């Protein structure tokens, strides 16, 4: 029997390990030898301007595309070779809206629960609890169509958490939302890291979504140009703030990798 790798590097458990990943669309190189890892119960911001490769990376992590160059492991399980084991541990909120607008909130969630083999009784309990987590309690019977953009996002987050993943990926989750909704959703996700110990990879191009204690991974046109704790990335790039660092790293053609300890 082949043992799944433990996801441990030394004594350290790794929630997500991206190693030497490249991806091309025909002649267009979208990711170029990207490597980084994230620890459990940490909030990591994947920063990049439009076209940096964030959505491509999410498509590879979620196995929408096969990883042809490099490897991606989720808690030690290779996404290409053991996709079931790997994907069971991850919840994903994609940039594009994915609720069925003609169904109720409950129907949207219970359909997803059944895809994960969660029984009806258990699903009912989890849905009620998760609607509380995302501040949408009592909204089971609302039609998805009747929700605001921010409310739809909250339901998508609840759906991504239904199978109790240990890693949550969100691709531009606040795009198109007003400032208040953005802040509320970000606060909900940050709380999940603290209270549930979930590891989060939060993709955005909005620098004001980064906080001092976060880890960041910065992509520029498919290249990883910085990774590490915010303070260390700021220091390594010679900037005065993360805003300044991101601005330099995003435009500097000659930028080498500003790498710091995770």
Ligand X SMILES: Nc1ncnc2c1ncn2[C@@H]1O[C@H](COP(=O)(O)OP(=O)(O)OP(=O)(O)O)[C@@H](O)[C@H]1O
Q: What residue ranges bind ligand X (CB under 6 A)?
A: 25, 28, 30, 48, 50-56, 172, 205
Nearer to ligand X, 42 or 56 (CB): 56
Comparing CB distances to ligand X, the nearer of 53 and 199 is: 53
CB of 262 to ligand X, least distance (A): 22
By C-alpha distance, which of 233, 213, 227 is closest to 35? Answer: 227
Nearer to ligand X, 48 or 199 (CB): 48
Distance CA 174, CA 150 (A): 8
Minimum distance from CB of 39 to ligand X (Å)?
23
Closest approach of ligand X to the CB of residue 224, in Å: 12
Compute the least distance from the CB of residue 127 to ligand X, in Å.
30
The residue (of 25 and 253) whose beta carbon lies closer to ligand X is: 25
CB of 68: closest distance to ligand X in angstroms?
A: 15
Name the minimum Å distance from CB 26 to ligand X: 7
Measured from the CB atom, the residue of 35 and 104 that comes closer to ligand X is: 35
Q: For residues 124 and 205, which CB has a smaller minimum distance to ligand X in the complex?
A: 205
Q: Which of 207, 123, 210 is nearest to 158 (CA)?
A: 123
Smallest separation, CB 252 to ligand X (Å)? 17
In the bound state with ligand X, the residue whose beta carbon lies nearer, of 190 and 205, is: 205
Distance from C-alpha of 192 to C-alpha of 27, rounded to nearest angstrom: 40
């Amino acid at each position: 029997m082949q043992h799944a790798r433990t996801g441990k590097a030394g004594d350290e458990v790794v929630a997500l390990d991206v190693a030497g990943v490249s991806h091309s669309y025909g002649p267009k190189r979208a990711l170029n030898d990207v490597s980084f890892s994230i620890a459990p119960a940490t909030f990591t911001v994947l920063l990049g301007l439009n076209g940096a490769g964030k959505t491509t990376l999410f498509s590879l992590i979620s196995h929408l595309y096969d990883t042809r160059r490099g490897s991606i492991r989720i808690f030690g399980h290779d996404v290409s070779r053991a996709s079931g084991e790997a994907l069971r541990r991850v919840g994903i909120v994609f940039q594009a809206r994915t609720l069925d607008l003609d169904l109720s909130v409950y129907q949207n969630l219970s359909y997803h629960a059944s895809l994960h083999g969660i029984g009806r009784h258990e699903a009912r309990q989890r849905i009620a609890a998760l609607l509380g987590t995302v501040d949408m309690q009592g909204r089971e019977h609302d039609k998805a169509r009747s929700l605001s953009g921010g409310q739809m996002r909250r339901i998508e987050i609840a759906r991504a958490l239904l199978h109790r993943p240990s890693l949550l990926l969100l691709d531009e989750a606040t795009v198109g939302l007003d400032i208040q909704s953005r802040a509320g959703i970000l606060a909900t996700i940050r709380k999940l890291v603290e209270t549930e110990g979930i590891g989060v990879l939060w993709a955005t191009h909005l620098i004001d979504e980064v906080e001092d204690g976060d880890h960041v991974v910065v992509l520029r046109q498919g290249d990883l140009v910085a990774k590490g704790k915010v303070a260390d990335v700021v220091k390594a790039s010679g900037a005065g703030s993360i805003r300044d660092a991101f601005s330099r790293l995003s435009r500097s053609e000659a930028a080498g990798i500003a790498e710091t300890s995770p």
